[in-house]
Structure 1
Amino acid sequence: MTNGSGRIEVRRGVPEGAEERVAELYWEAFGRKLGAALGPAPEGRRFIASHLHPDRALTAVDETGGVLGVAGYQLAGRGLVGGDAAAVRARYGQFRGLYRVFLLALLERTPARGELVMDGIAVDPAARGRGIGGLLLDGVEEVAVEQGCRRIRLDVIAENPRARALYERRGFRPVQVRRTPWLRDVLGFGAVTTMHKAVATR
């Protein structure tokens, strides 16, 4: 899958050696939300880079192979960023780790039967406006169809209207709003909208 402007290609997986770059993009997009659980940027990025599941990612790369964007998704109990409770405690210690496990649990989303759950899209700020987000969403939909899923589900926070507008343009529709004002000071958002998009099954 390519984009005629600047030869952007969407590939399955994380290119070898690009783990740190993917973690950087993911942190730039979601660091405010993940920072309370994974610590400040250097520490949080390192945790993400060392616990990636490459087979749960699509990456947008330019003609030099540089990664400009990433989309993660969950299938069969695995998402883009791994690291179970034991891994969190091993990295942060028993006391600090327990609190972080609790915060990460608040962000967990379990796919329903026949559902692919997106882990989010992150695009290099310097490359926005080139259709990369749309290409990544097309790639996610291809994966969903191949896996026999009947719909794609994602969550978007109220503080990210730009992302919601992209999803709506690509056929996603809001189905539920969960207001979480008690999380605003901790995780940086006070409401989450769940959106669905039906996909054609083979």
Structure 2
Amino acid sequence: MNKIIITKELTHSQKIQVCELVYQGFYKKLSNYWIFEKNIERGSTVLQGCINYNNGIYAIENGNVVGFIGIQFRKNKFREFNISTLKSHYGLIGATWRGLLNKFENKSNSLKDDEMYIDLIVVDSKHRGKGIASLLIEEVTNLSIENNFNKILLDVVDTNEGAINLYKKLGYKTIKVMDFKGLTDFMGYRKVMYMCKNLKS
């Protein structure tokens, strides 16, 4: 395996790769909920104006983004489907209803000042099994400790068993389970597990 570099700095082409990875990891949510965009190329263009890259940590191999983790904390968001960007692609009406739907999923407004939230984590399908997700989560843990956060929160769908097992291995515990009772079957899951890692006893 080539050396994996963990960084917060990206070139323009690497930022585009991040958007493509978001689609790779969350296609059903992007096409059926977040922005209702099934065309990956067009959707990736929309995402470029909706991602705050400074709130991400990236795994680079041979100059390519092979994984990333997006975080939220103290009103700082990784992704924000802002009306201005959505309007430029979908017009006022299309932007308005997309923006309103996404307000329901905005975690930053409910986060406490001592809580770090892992919003998105994706590893390129061709690079899974190399420990990249663990490296990224470790970096978030270190960042959280350095900045005096007491907890790291995340949520994961019940069908992503590999991720659930990894989070448990890294010390995350389930604090809540939300059962959507079939309403989210079209997106490939039925329950969402809310997990937490306490950094201070």
> Could you tell me which residue of structure 1 aligns to residue 105 of structure 2?
107
1:61-105 CA distance string (max 9 Å, x none)? 11x221110100012312222332343334322222233123322
Runs (4+) of structure 1 exceeding 4 A deviation are: 185-188
Query: In the superposition, relative to structure 1, how do residues 162 and 106 fare at CA in structure 2: closer, same or farther (>3 Å)?
Result: farther
Shift of 1:154: 0.3
> Could you tell me which residue of structure 1 aligns to residue 92 of structure 2?
94
Shift of 1:143: 1.5
Query: In the superposition, relative to structure 1, how do residues 120 and 129 fare at CA in structure 2: closer, same or farther (>3 Å)?
Result: same
Task: State whether structure 2 residue 47 is matched by structure 1 residue 51.
Answer: no
Shift of 1:187: 4.4
> Could you tell me which residue of structure 2 aligns to residue 172 of structure 1?
172
Moved more, 149-158 or 159-168: 159-168
- Identity percentage of aligned residues: 24
- The residue matched to 2:57 in structure 1 has which SS? strand
- The residue matched to 2:13 in structure 1 has which SS? coil
Shift of 1:43: 2.5
Task: State whether structure 2 residue 186 is matched by structure 1 residue 181.
Answer: no
Q: Is the 8 A contact 2:49 2:85 kept in 1?
A: no
Moved more, 137-146 or 33-42: 33-42
Contiguous gaps of at least 5 residues in structure 2: none
Query: In the superposition, relative to structure 1, how do residues 24 and 177 fare at CA in structure 2: closer, same or farther (>3 Å)?
Result: same
RMSD: 2.0
Query: What amino acid maps onto 1:171 in structure 2?
Result: G
Query: In the superposition, relative to structure 1, how do residues 186 and 32 fare at CA in structure 2: closer, same or farther (>3 Å)?
Result: same
Residue 11 of structure 1: which of 1, 7, 10 is its match?
Answer: 7
Q: Is the 8 A contact 1:34 1:187 kept in 2?
A: no
Query: In the superposition, relative to structure 1, how do residues 143 and 116 fare at CA in structure 2: closer, same or farther (>3 Å)?
Result: same
Write the mapping of 1:1-202 to structure 2, written as runs, cut at 5 A: 5-36=1-32, 37-38=34-35, 39-40=37-38, 41-62=40-61, 64-110=62-108, 111-181=111-181, 183-184=183-184, 187-200=187-200
